[in-house]
Amino acid sequence: MSGREALSLQVSDGVGVLRIAREDKRNALDAAMMDALADLCREIERHENLGVLILTGSGRSFCAGGDIIAWSSESATAFARHWIRDGHEAFDRLARLRQPVIAALNGPVLGGGLELAACADYRIAEEHVRFGQPESALGIIAGWSGTQRAVRRFGAQIVRRMALFGDVLSAEQALQAGLADRVVPQNASLEVARDVAGAILKRGPLATELTKMLINAAEGEERDRVLESLAGRIAAASEEVREGVVAFNEKRPPRFGGKGD
C-alpha cells in the first residue's frame, strides 16, 4: 500500500474527513505516509470549499505513532535527516492549516499518535482511549514535536509525566489535564466531530481563519509566517498593489495615492 492509499480525504458540505487507513498496522505511520500527509495538507490548505478538517483513524485505532519496524531499520543519520525532519514537515503543515482541525480520537493516542493529535485545534476522545508517550521505553525520544508542540499546547508537567515517568492517562484524566477537550462514548467521536464542525461553519470563515492564525502566533507556532501573511493580505487588498501592477504592465512609474506623473 502506498502512502497516499493509506490516507483518505473526503469532503462534503464544507467538512473534510482525513482518515488514516492502515488497519493492519493500527494506523502506524511510515515515511511514505508522512510524505503523503504533507502533500495532502497542501491540497487541504488550497481547497476553497473546505472550512473544517476532521482527523481520525480507520477501524479501532486512531494512530499507533511511527511504524517501529520502519524507523528502527534506518541508520542514525537517515533517521535524523529524513524520519524526524519529514515527520516535522508533515505535522507542522497539519498544525498550521488555515482551517480548524478536529481530532476524532477513536483509539489509543500514544507516541506519534499523541504528537499527531497535538496538531489539532480540538480533540474529542472516546471514553476507552488512553494517552501516553512511551518512546523512552524503546530507547528513543518523541521526535515529531512531542517535547515542543505538546509542551506548548498541553503544558510541561503533563508531558513530563508521560514522557519521563511513563504515565498513561485515561480519557477522563486527559480531559482534566487538557489533552482532550471532550470525552464521548465509544464509536461516537466522528459524529460529535461533525456536529462541532457544523457549528464552526456557522461562524465567519475569514474571522475564524484569522483568529486561528493569531492564536498560533501567540502560542509560538508560526509567528513569522503569520505576521507576513496578515501584512500580505492587507497589501494585496490595497489600491496600491493594483496601481503598481498596472504601472508595471504599462511600463510607467506608479501613481500611488494620486501622486506621480
Cα–Cα distance for residue pair 57/64, rounded to 1 Å: 10
Beta-sheet pairing, 109-110 with 52-57: unpaired
Given the residues 43, 74, 89, 115, the one annotated as active site: 115
Cα–Cα distance for residue pair 160/115, rounded to 1 Å: 14
Given the residues 135, 209, 222, 243, the one annotated as active site: 135
The answer to whether residue 115 is catalytic is yes
Cα–Cα distance for residue pair 223/220, rounded to 1 Å: 6
Closest CA to 52 of 197, 181, 189: 197
Q: Which three cell numbers stand for residue 66?
A: 511511527
Neighbouring residues of 221: CB distance < 8 A, sequence distance ≥ 6: 95, 96, 149, 152
Other CB atoms within a 10 A radius of the CB of residue 60 amount to 15
User: What is 191-246 written as a DSSP string?
Assistant: HHHHHHHHHHHTS-HHHHHHHHHHHHHHTTSSHHHHHHHHHHHHHHTSHHHHHHHH
Residue 184: strand pairing partners: 126
- Active site (catalytic) residues: 115, 135
